Structure 1
Amino acid sequence: MNLASDYPLLNVFWTMCWFFLWILWFMLLFRILIDLFRDDSLSGWAKAGWAIFLILLPFLGVFVYLIARGRGMGEREMAKAQKADEQFRAYVRESAGTSGEGSTADQLAKLTELRSAGHISDEEYAKAKAKILT
């Protein structure tokens, strides 16, 4: 029995296309479920309703979710990426040893704010300024 002659090359191509579309569909479905449960603006009942809708009618549920909440999905992903970038930058600054101290100009500006608010006296300001500048 020769299986290669029973399954021509074009059929292999179409089978591969359907297989990758099937994988793509499941990736989209899981991405929507992850977005649904990470969203803090929805109540528990709304999340449960969307989850039931996505499980019982997956094709319709995915399309309705993308139409109704697709823009918010992108905004939440962008906010998550920005937060991760800020955390990375804070980690790099902390590792480099510049997170707590700041630049000299920043420290002098903070001292000036403290003095103008009346939290420190002129003598304390002068001592702190001399310490920063040395």
Structure 2
Amino acid sequence: MSASVYLAYDYPLLGAFWTILWIVLWVWWFILLFRVIADIFRDDRLGGWAKAGWLVLTILLPFLGVLLYVLARGRGMGARERSHARAQQEAIDQYIRETAGTPGTRSQADELAKLSEIRARGDITDEEFRRAKEKILH
């Protein structure tokens, strides 16, 4: 066997620990970098030139740019993230309500059909029917 062959037991445990630590730190770094870039685009209070400046800084000098951004604007990142998530959830809820309809609510067509059945039975007058129909349609 040649001396240049390395086996798994030749790699010390502390070396494996440091390798895993560096990999985790790099993954965290990229997550933070992409969150900062997403926050730059998401912030409505920043103007176009400010967004361009922060973006150029984070791309050309990523470590310094991200550090400065988190120090200068990091406090609002969580609030912007929560408002964005809330807006997405409201849009999904609205889509579901429009598509499936919520239980217990009826459409205008259902209300008008029921109202015309009541009038056909003679339980309400034509004038009451007209007022109820206007109320449903408005």
TM-score by length of 1: 0.68
Cα distance change of structure 1 residues 130 and 46 upon mapping to structure 2, 3 Å threshold: closer
Alignment coverage as a number of residue pairs: 114
Using the TM superposition, give the Cα deviation of residue 78 of structure 1 relative to its aligned residue in structure 2, in angstroms. 1.0
Kept in 2: contact 1:94–1:100 (CA 8 A): no
Using the TM superposition, give the Cα deviation of residue 32 of structure 1 relative to its aligned residue in structure 2, in angstroms. 0.5
| In 2, Cα distance between equivalents of 1:73 and 1:124 | 58
Q: Which residue of 2 aligns with 1:110?
A: none
Cα distance change of structure 1 residues 91 and 7 upon mapping to structure 2, 3 Å threshold: same
| In 2, Cα distance between equivalents of 1:4 and 1:73 | 44
After TM superposition, list the pairs within 5 Å mapping 1:11-30 onto structure 2. Answer: 11-30=15-34
Using the TM superposition, give the Cα deviation of residue 131 of structure 1 relative to its aligned residue in structure 2, in angstroms. 8.4
Structure number with greater Rg is 2
* 1:91 is the counterpart of 2:95: yes
Deviations 1:47-101 (A, max 9, x none): 1211222123322221221121112221211111111111122122212335884
Kept in 2: contact 1:37–1:47 (CA 8 A): yes
Structure 1: give runs of 5+ residues left out of the alignment. Answer: 105-122
- Tell me: higher relative CO, structure 1 or 2? Use CA pairs within 8 A at least 6 residues apart: 2
What percentage of residue pairs aligned between the two structures are identical?
52
